[in-house]
Every structure is written in structure tokens, then in C-alpha cells.
Amino acid sequence: MASSRLKYLSLGVLVFQTTSLVLTMRYSRTLQAEGPRYLASSAVVVAEVIKILTCVLLVFKEHSDVLRQEIMHKPIETLKLAIPSGIYTLQNNLLYVALSNLDAATYQVTYQLKILTTALFSVSMLGRRLGVYQWLSLLILMGGVALVQVQYSFLSWPSEPTAAPEEDAPSAGSQFVGVAAVLVACFSSGFAGVYFEKILKESKQSVWVRNIQLGLFGLVFGLFGMVAYDGERVRESGMFQGYNTVTCSVVALQALGGLVIAAVIKYADNILKGFATSLSIILSTLISYFWLQDFDPTGVFFLGAVLVIAATFLYGYEGRPSPNPSRA
């Protein structure tokens, strides 16, 4: 009974975290406010700091000397986390780019291509064998995402130019940037997730310690990216320019997202995660349409979304492979 409650609690937490992060990030990147907009590179750095501090507290609560033993005394093991950490840092920055140029619903559906990339990297790097249902689900997934992009293209590039386009309407070029950012994020998520899983399987260390190691490298890469890309703006207006309540919510959700997923993995199976993904897509679509009002769904979009949701369930149907330890 307690196990069942934990499973459904994890479902609710996962749906809330996934949906709220996407929607608040989209809202924060399109919100018209006075002064400069907050820097995505700064938000990534602050999220890493919060994540490191949270994991340190969790580890110290159980074993006070484990950090010195696992990080200081095992530098080679720690260095192995530099590769996925750098990729995750890139991925987190790309998600801000994507949601600055795409509505939340289209982003949510397209980002499910990470299932495809994770599966392909699992086959090539871990030697995992996929069943018939899983290969079929990947084909359905590609078809669903393709339909969403087709309808998006028709909406984005009208055949007759308008005399005075709305100032806030995203251009076709910006939408292309958004889609490209999602696709690169899908590949980076797949590779980094499988690489991280491989490291976890080769060691007996806890996920929390590994997240601290990832976070330390992520902090270094994030600071380097912020200085290289936004250094001039940081010098002019400071690292925390444009921060408000919404921005702080986005940072907190992004920081705690990976930790929530790490905890949920313990209780959730693939079917439950399929439910969470499906509910998140549905909620993102409804809220984008009724609240953010930046999305006008069509029949083609709904067909593509249904195919993506079906593929998510089908992928976890045969064999129920253990979920990939990943970091958001």
C-alpha cells in the first residue's frame, strides 16, 4: 500500500515538475517587462549552485566523509563526469533558447525525440537489445514529431505576406532556431544520459554524489559560457540582471528537476513515466492555449501528439527495461 502511494506521489511530482518548468520558462522568456531580460547563462549557473548545495546536504545527512573519499581521493573517477557535465550544461542553455522561440506544447512534443536518441545510444554504447514493440514505438515517435513540425511549418511560413506583422509574433527564422535547439538538446540528452548510466553501472556510488560531481563541472562550464557569451552584459548590469519572482521559480525548478527525477527513478516504472509524459504534454497544450495564448492547435498537431504519447507507452511495454539514470 505504501509502495503504491509512493508511485502515484512520484507521478504527481514528476508531472508538476516537468509541466511547470516548461511553462514558467516559456513565460519568463516571453514576458514583457521593464529593463533587461535575465540571462539564460546566469540562470544555468545559479541552478547548478542550488543543485550542488542540495546534494551536499543530502550526502552529509548520511555520510559526512563520503565527499572527501569520492571526490578528493578519486580524481580520475571524478574527471569521468566532465564529459556528461559539459553536455548537460550545453543542453540546459539550449532549452532556454528553444523555449524563447517555441510554444510550450510544440517544445514538449518535439523534445520526446530524446527517447529515440537515448535508445540508439543505449544500443551502441551499452549493447542493449530493443524488442519489436520498442523499435515500432520509435518509428511512431518519429512520425508523430514529424507531423507536429509539418503543421508548425504551415503555421509559421504563410504563403501570403501580411502588411503589418505583429511585433510579438515569432519569425520563421526564430522558430527554426527553436526547433534546431530542441533537436541538438535531444541528442545531447540521449548521449549524456546513457554515458551517465554507464558510469553509474561501473561504480557503487550514490546518485547524489555523482550529481555533486556533475554539478561541480557544470558550474565551471556554466561560468565559462556566461563569461564568453554574456560577459559584456554581466559587466554592465550584473549577473542577476532581470531577475524576478518568475525567474527565481524557473531556476529553482531547473535545479530541483534532476534531483526529483533521480528520486522518482527509485519508485516509477516506464509505464508510470509514460503517464507523466502524456499528462505533461496535455497540460502544456491546454495552458499554452488558454493561459499563455501563444499556441493555436490544429488537427495535425493533435494527431502528432497522440502518436508521440502512444509511442511513449509502447516503448515501455515490452520487457520493461530499467529506466536510464539521467540528470535534467
Q: What is the pLDDT of residues 247-301, one digit of tens each?
A: 999 999 888 876 776 666 556 555 566 667 777 888 888 888 777 777 777 788 8
Return contacts of 53-58, CB within 8 angstroms, 24+ apart.
Answer: 54/255, 54/256, 54/259, 55/208, 55/209, 55/211, 55/212, 55/215, 55/259, 56/212, 58/208
Amino acid at 205: Q
Instruction: Identify which of 292, 285, 296, 295 has the alpha carbon closest to the alpha carbon of residue 32.
Output: 292
For 170-185, what is the mean pLDDT?
A: 80
CA pair distance 251, 40, nearest whole angstrom: 10
How high is the pLDDT of residue 321?
46
Where exactly are the structural domains of the chain?
Answer: 1-155+171-316
pLDDT band at 219 (very low <50, low <70, confident <90, very high): very high
How high is the pLDDT of residue 166?
45
Query: At residue 164, does pLDDT exceed 50?
Result: no
Residue 162 phi/psi, 5-degree rounding, is -90, 150
